[in-house]
Amino acid sequence: MLTALINATIFSGDTKSEGRSVLIENGLILAVTGPDDVPADAQIIDLGGHSIAPGLIDLQIYGSGGELFGGKPTVEALAQMESDLFKQGTTGFLATVATNSPEIVEQAISAAKAFRSNSKGNFLGLHLEGPYLNSKRKGAHPEKFIKKATVSELKRWVDAAEGEIRIMTIAPELQDQEVLDYLAAENIVISAGHSNASYQEGLSFFGDKVTAATHLFNAMPPLHHREPGLVAAIFRQKPFTSIIADGIHVSYPMIEIAKRQLADKLFLITDAVTATSEGIYPHILNGDRYVMPDGTLSGSNLSMWQAVKNCVSFAGIELEEAIRMASAYPAAAISRQHELGYIKPGYKANLIIFDEQLNLKTSLMEGLTS
């Protein structure tokens, strides 16, 4: 069926245009047209001047609605995340597993494969954050499970995953070159995070196999005028870099600075968790943030759309660019920019609709609302 969303402001990922229409057929964008070019046989949906933008993409989230996939990885947890995130405008996400035992990682791989055939389409795969981190920058990750990577263990996981692992956050300065070579050859995005790398180490590995950095400023050496460290290397080499725009994990002035330095390589994540007392990650909601029982700041209490609004309201970023930070740029970070993150002919009709006050009204997955 041909559907026309008419009378809308369209944030395409490239341009902003008013009074336009989006034509959708078989789950794909057919065209973006003027009001006089809508086919007579199309099903018309008048949006009354609301705005349309690409669906949001979260490349790091652990759980939702009391189901912490990152600690207890089940098919049910993935289904909960998929349903909750779709309602929040997130039409693509990587379910994330933090540092844990090999058994938990393998359970996550099994759950991802089992869920794949039942996914509505917004589950894009797995992000393994750890266990190959630097214990000096462990944050909320338990040190007893942090270790150095081996190709043999990686190969076992990658072979079992059959393409479900899309990103791995590691501390590259502690890994052998053969590990980086192997992950790159398997088309897994290597992201530097929970790292204590020096400036020179960062220049080296960002110029090689490492193409991304995880939650800028968090779990890495602070920028220092005599020891510039990993942050300065990120600003110099400009890998795709995620940031948590909640004003808690990173202050808004620092988000402004990072945006000026990284431009279209800075993208939003939620790093969101959910309240749970199970497993080794008992996240407790303390006001506007989640903490561990010892008070250590853990994941966020953030949605992608709220991150977009925070960037607009508090970090001096234009709405059109903030939307790109939550859609086009994360799509590019995982090499899906040719089908996701834009409103263009041939792209998936994964869309959000919102009003002038930035209230989210509807999410569409391949043109459908459910």
pLDDT score for 289: 87
Shared domain check, 156 and 13: no
pLDDT score for 209: 95
Shared domain check, 216 and 149: yes
Pull the structure tokens for residue 47: 């949006």
Shared domain check, 291 and 154: yes
Q: Confidence band (pLDDT; 50, 70, 90) for 125?
A: very high
Question: Count of domains in the chain?
Answer: 2
Measured between alpha carbons, how far is 209 from 190 in angstroms, rounded to an integer? 7
Among 266, 324, 290, CA closest to 70: 290
Pull the structure tokens for residue 326: 């939550």
CB 188 within 8 A of CB 166: yes
Measured between alpha carbons, how far is 66 from 264 in angstroms, rounded to an integer? 34
CB 242 within 8 A of CB 59: yes
Among 364, 352, 293, 348, CA closest to 322: 352
232 forms bridges with which residues in the sheet?
none
CB 134 within 8 A of CB 174: yes
Shared domain check, 63 and 46: no
Q: Is the peptide bond before 253 cis (omega within 30 degrees of 0)?
A: no
Shared domain check, 153 and 72: yes
Say if 370 falls within a structural domain: no
pLDDT score for 292: 85
Shared domain check, 119 and 162: yes
Among 147, 195, 135, 144, CA closest to 169: 195
Shared domain check, 235 and 144: yes
Rounded mean pLDDT of 42-65?
Answer: 96
Among 206, 204, 160, CA closest to 186: 160
From 271, 288, 294, 355, active-site residue: 271
CA distances from 295 to 55, 213, 278, 284, 291 (A): 34, 25, 17, 9, 5
Q: How many residues does the chain have?
A: 370
Pull the structure tokens for residue 356: 């002038």
Enter the DSSP assignment of 221.
P
Say if 182 falls within a structural domain: yes
Answering whether pTM is above 0.95, one says: yes
Shared domain check, 113 and 191: yes
Q: Which of 2-11, 23-32, 114-123, 288-297 has the lowest mean pLDDT?
A: 288-297
Say if 369 falls within a structural domain: no
Say if 119 falls within a structural domain: yes
What CATH number has the domain bearing residue 354? Answer: 2.30.40.10
Q: What is the dihedral of CA 176, 108, 347, 328, to 10 degrees?
A: -50
What CATH number has the domain bearing residue 291? Answer: 3.20.20.140
Shared domain check, 76 and 15: no
Pull the structure tokens for residue 359: 């209230």
pLDDT score for 305: 98
pLDDT score for 107: 97
Residue-wise DSSP of 32-85? EE-GGGS-TTSEEEE-TT-EEEEPEEEEEE-EETTEETTTS--HHHHHHHHHHH
Measured between alpha carbons, how far is 118 from 116 in angstroms, rounded to an integer? 5
The percent of residues in the chain predicted with pLDDT above 90, rounded, is 87
Q: Is the peptide bond before 39 cis (omega within 30 degrees of 0)?
A: no
Measured between alpha carbons, how far is 134 from 146 in angstroms, rounded to an integer? 7
Which of the pair, 112 or 140, is modelled with greater confidence? Answer: 112
Residue-wise DSSP of 270-295? --B-----STT---EEETTEEE-TT-
Say if 359 falls within a structural domain: yes
Say if 321 falls within a structural domain: yes
Range of the domain at 13: 2-53+342-364
Rounded mean pLDDT of 289-313?
Answer: 93
pLDDT score for 284: 86
User: Quick one: residue 2, left, alpha or beta (phi over 0 = left, psi -120 to 50 = alpha)?
Assistant: beta
**Cα 294 versus chain centre, distance:** 27
Q: How many CB atoms lie within 10 A of CB 50?
A: 17
Say if 201 falls within a structural domain: yes
33 forms bridges with which residues in the sheet?
21
* pLDDT for residue 175 is more than 80: yes
Q: Residue 271 catalytic?
A: yes
Shared domain check, 60 and 19: no
Indicate the average pLDDT of the chain.
95
Shared domain check, 98 and 8: no
Shared domain check, 150 and 187: yes
* pLDDT for residue 276 is more than 90: no
